[in-house]
Amino acid sequence: MTSPPQQVSELDRLLEANAAYAAARPDDGATASPRPRRRLAVVTCMDARIDVFAVLGLKLGEAHVLRNAGGRVTEDVLRSLALSTHVLGVRTVVVMQHTKCGLTGVTDQELRNRTGADLGFLPIDDHEAALREDVDHLLAQPYLSLINAVSGLVFDVESGRISPIVTRERPAAPDQAG
Interface with Zn ion (CB under 5 A): 45, 47, 101
H helices within 116-157, ranges in order?
A: 127-139
Minimal distance, residue 115 CB to Zn ion, in Å: 16
With respect to Zn ion, which residue has the nearer C-beta, 12 or 76? Answer: 76
For 95: left if phi > 0, alpha if psi spans -120 to 50, otherwise beta; the answer is: beta
The three-state secondary structure class of 88 is coil
Nearest CA-CA partner of 172 in 19, 51, 39, 16: 39
With respect to Zn ion, which residue has the nearer C-beta, 52 or 177? Answer: 52
Instruction: Yes or no: say if 69 and 114 are a contact pair by the CB < 8 Å rule.
Output: no
With respect to Zn ion, which residue has the nearer C-beta, 47 or 134? Answer: 47
In the chain the beta strands, taken as DSSP E runs, fall at 40-45, 63-68, 92-98, 149-155, 162-169
With respect to Zn ion, which residue has the nearer C-beta, 69 or 144? Answer: 69
